[in-house]
Structure 1
């Protein structure tokens, strides 16, 4: 039986969503075509109906992962304004849940190192995604009172501190040092 265009689009969206989750959980090595298709509940043979290559899938998954992060901030901005959205983003980012479950978290903390090793494949999508986050964090900082001409640099510092904190916290595992790292970042970012 032949699939309708809607079914094909739904299948592709499921593959992209699954690939984005696996990329954040396991990096590029853990997001092989076989791994992604199995996790999506599909056969590997159907992959090439949706993508020309693994690299095409990785780019789509990167775009999807960043769009999900930006979309969460946008929803918070719509309901509570830019300042409240920034506070909610920082709280979610530094939460135990985000640290323990990278599959639903930030792509920069999840597979940023892999993206740096594959700039020809992931670099463009990673740059676009980082810009999305920088723009939204900067809007929250402006609403918080940071001068507009300083907001971009402050947003970049905020994001790199968030990413570094989560990467370090994940590497440390449940430990007193992990608690210290999270608390130190929270203290700085909650008062900025």
Structure 2
């Protein structure tokens, strides 16, 4: 790769990272190209040298952000099977720290809100959520027993929906209640699914 190609690739990555940051903090649907480029320390004029449209950038940002989240999940120890792995994921997800750290947290809530506004975003999100569900099923150890599909999809749905609502009422006592209730509800559902699997 030539020096020019390397610089272009690095600039493109800066733009994607800026878009990922905006996606996590508030979604990309209402963000402007100017905001994305400003976050990358670049001028608007250079955007179209890297992306044909904001939609294409948004797709790439969703893919990168969710792939990053998937890698983090797969780093989780899973020696004790699928139920403890998913329970610990729910417990960490519904923490006050995660709720309050939009920029460093999970992109799925904001990406889901964006997807409700755009069919293109919905298609990409569906593909990435399917990959995330697969990670929830298998964990890092592909030789260990798989989690039931309902456990994977149900956990994902609870996480996304629960975090959207908890953040929507952030700053009120109800927000903390939602975090705690979602953790307990998810753990109870996983326990029931495990019992059904063993019956």
Do they superpose with TM above 0.5? yes
Paired positions, count: 185
* Stretch deviating more after TM superposition (150-159 or 86-95): 86-95
Cα distance in structure 2, aligned partners of 1:6 and 1:87: 42
> C-alpha displacement at 1:80, in angstroms?
5.9
- Relative to its length, the structure with more helix (as a share) is 1
Please give the residue correspondences for 1:135-154 in structure 2 after superposition, counting only pairs within 5 Å.
135-140=134-139, 151-154=148-151
Which 4+ residue blocks in structure 1 deviate beyond 3 angstroms? 79-88
**Gaps spanning 5+ residues in structure 2: where?**
191-199
Quote the offset at 1:162 in angstroms: 1.1
Return the match for 1:164 from 145, 161, 164. Answer: 161
Q: Which residue of 1 aligns with 2:115?
A: 115
Contact 1:19 1:58 in 2 (8 A): yes
Contact 1:73 1:86 in 2 (8 A): no
Q: Distance in 2 between matches of 1:61 and 1:159?
A: 20
The 2-side partners of 1:13 and 1:81 are apart by: 38
Q: Secondary structure at the match of 1:104?
A: coil
**1:1-192 matched pairs, under 5 angstroms:** 4-77=4-77, 83=82, 85-119=85-119, 121-140=120-139, 151-191=148-188, 192=190
- Give, in angstroms, the shift of residue 40 of structure 1: 0.9
Q: 2:110 and 2:57 mapped to 1: Cα distance? A: 17
Deviation at 1:81, TM superposition (A): 7.4
Distance in structure 1 (CA, Å) of the matches to 2:131 and 2:99 = 21
Q: Measure the CA separation in 2 of the matches of 1:29 and 1:99.
A: 21
**Per-residue Cα deviation, 1:30-75 (whole angstroms, up to 9, x for no partner):** 4311000001111111111110111111111111111111111122
- Tell me how large the CA RMSD over aligned residues is: 2.7
CA deviation after TM superposition for structure 1 residue 115, in Å: 0.7
